[in-house]
Amino acid sequence: MDLRGFDDHPPDPDANDFLSRLTLTRVDRDIFTGWCHSGSPLRAFGGQVAAQALVAAGSTVDDDLRRVHSLHAYFLRAGRTTDHIVYMVDRPRDGRSFSTRRVRAVQYGKTIFTMSVSFALPQTGPEHGREQAPAWFDAIPSPMESEPVDVLKHIPMRDQAESEDLTEAGYPLHQLLEVRHIESKVVRSISDGFVDQMNWIRSQPLPDDPLTHVCALTYLSDLTLVRTVLDHHNRADERADLQVASIDHAMWFHAPLRSDEWLLFANRSPIAGDGRGFATGGFYTLTGMPVASVAQEVLVRDHPV
- Taking only the tens place, the pLDDT of each residue in 20-36 is 999 999 999 999 999 98
Total residues belonging to the chain: 305
Residues noted as catalytic: 222, 246, 296
CATH 3.10.129.10 fits 1-123, yes or no: yes
Q: CATH 3.10.129.10: which residues of the chain?
A: 1-123, 133-305
Helix (H, G, I), strand (E, B) or coil at 77: coil
For the chain, residues with pLDDT lower than 50 are 1, 5-11, 13-14, 154-174
The H or E element that residue 51 is part of is helix 46-59
Look at residue 165 in the predicted model and tell me its pLDDT. 47
pLDDT given at position 245: 85
Which residues, 6 or more positions from 49, have their beta carbon under 8 angstroms from its beta carbon? 36, 75, 79, 85, 105, 112, 113
User: Fold for domain 133-305?
Assistant: Thiol Ester Dehydrase; Chain A (3.10.129)
Number of CB atoms found within 10 A of residue 300's CB: 23
DSSP string, 141-192: PPGGGSEEE-SSTTS----GGG-S-B-TTSPBTT--EEEEEEPHHHHHHHHT
The H-or-E segment that residue 80 falls in is none
Residue 240, pLDDT score: 61
Specify the pLDDT at position 64: 83
Amino acid identity at 261: E
